[in-house]
């Protein structure tokens, strides 16, 4: 079974600074997807960034980037130029890729609460 | 694209009662997922549909829980004989995927908050 571990329950950062959230996962699969989702206090889960395991290049979305280390099974999220609106709970998630395209469940970590202060 | 819609937003019920939640996915999405989330925790997978077929169920889904997606569009999640431990946020998500389709990420609804008294 796949597991996702987020070892930082809470993080805080000042506006305009950079913060990195950690995530490790355990799987025997070779083909899979990794995600970071954001859940603001309003509680709707929003996709931040996605990485396919077969891609060596780290994904980037504006101020958000990842450091994907496949051998180490590590998938950290870097937020640059932090903004007050980045305050939220951040979840790392894993989905294995099914050969028959049936799809599988998205497995989440326990989350990291990020607080951005002015 | 109106997003994933869940109803009701809040439900308060007494222990032992049955409750049913509804999820309307994004219209072109063929996959639908149910998750349960307790305060301060990550979402826990409950079950997943591709079209009308229920393809995967978590061991968390006891025999008091049942989910349906009869026409491959909206889905319902029913909890029978509710217990206080069922109090949680129930999240629905949808995505597009499968043979010949580009796998899209999951899009989540706002959730239904269940309180069992």
Can you give the pLDDT at residue B102?
60
- Whether residue A31 has pLDDT greater than 70: yes
Alpha carbon of A84 to those of A16, A65, A72: distances in Å? Answer: 9, 18, 32
> A43 contacts in B (CB within 8 Å)?
89, 110-111
- Whether residue B84 has pLDDT greater than 70: yes
Can you give the pLDDT at residue B113?
96
- Whether residue B33 has pLDDT greater than 80: yes
Q: Supply φ then ψ for residue B84, to 5 degrees.
A: -60, -30
- Whether residue B1 has pLDDT greater than 70: no
Beta bridge partners of B22: B7, B76
Which residue, among A46, A87, A91, A94, has the nearest Cα to B41 in the 3D structure? Answer: A91
- Whether residue B56 has pLDDT greater than 70: yes
Chain B window 21-80: which residues touch A at a Cβ cutoff of 8 Å?
31, 33, 35, 40-45, 48, 50, 55-56, 58
Percent of chain B clearing pLDDT 70 (strictly above): 94
Asked if the Cβ–Cβ distance from B105 to A105 is below 8 Å, we say no
With an 8 Å Cβ cutoff, the interface of chain A facing chain B consists of: 4, 6, 33, 35, 37, 42-47, 50, 91, 100-111, 113
Binning chain B into helix, strand and coil, the percentages to the nearest 5 are: 5, 50, 50
- Whether residue A40 has pLDDT greater than 60: yes
Residues B26-42: what's their mean pLDDT?
92
- Rounded CA-CA distance A6/B6 in Å is 28
- Whether residue A88 has pLDDT greater than 90: yes
- Where are the strands (E) in chain B, listed by range? 5-7, 10-13, 19-24, 31-37, 44-50, 53-57, 65-68, 75-79, 88-95, 107-108, 112-116
Asked if the Cβ–Cβ distance from B98 to A46 is below 8 Å, we say no
- Whether residue A35 has pLDDT greater than 90: yes
* 3-state DSSP assignment of residue B17: coil
Reported confidence tier of residue A17, pLDDT bands at 50, 70, 90: very high
Reported confidence tier of residue A102, pLDDT bands at 50, 70, 90: low
Question: Between A91, A101, A113, which is nearest B99 by CB?
Answer: A101
> If you count them, how many residues does chain B have?
117
Can you give the pLDDT at residue A100?
59
Out of A43-57, A73-87, A93-107, give the one with best mean pLDDT. Answer: A73-87
Q: Comparing A99 with B84, which gets the higher pLDDT?
A: B84
> A105 contacts in B (CB within 8 Å)?
33, 45, 48, 56, 58
Mean pLDDT of chain B: 91
């Amino acid at each position: 079974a796949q597991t996702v571990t987020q070892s930082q329950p809470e993080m805080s950062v000042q506006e305009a600074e950079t913060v990195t959230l950690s995530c490790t996962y355990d799987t025997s699969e070779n083909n899979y997807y990794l995600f970071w989702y954001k859940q603001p206090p309003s509680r709707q889960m929003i996709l931040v960034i996605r990485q396919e395991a077969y891609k060596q290049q780290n994904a980037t979305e504006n101020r958000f980037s990842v450091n994907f280390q496949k051998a180490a099974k590590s998938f950290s999220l870097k937020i640059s130029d932090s903004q007050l609106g980045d305050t939220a709970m951040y979840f790392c998630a894993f989905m294995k890729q099914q050969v028959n395209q049936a799809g599988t469940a998205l497995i989440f970590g326990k989350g990291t609460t990020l607080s951005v202060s002015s | 694209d109106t997003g994933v819609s869940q109803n009701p937003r809040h439900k308060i019920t007494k222990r032992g009662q049955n409750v049913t939640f509804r999820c309307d996915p994004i219209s072109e999405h063929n996959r639908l997922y149910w998750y349960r989330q307790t305060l301060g925790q990550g979402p826990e997978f409950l079950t997943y549909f591709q079209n009308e077929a229920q393809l995967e169920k978590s061991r968390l889904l006891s025999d008091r829980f049942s989910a349906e997606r009869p026409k491959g569009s909206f889905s319902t999640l029913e909890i029978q004989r509710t217990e206080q431990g069922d109090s949680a946020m129930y999240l629905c998500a949808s995505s597009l995927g499968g043979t010949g389709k580009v796998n899209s990420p999951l899009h989540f609804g706002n959730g239904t908050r269940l309180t069992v008294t």
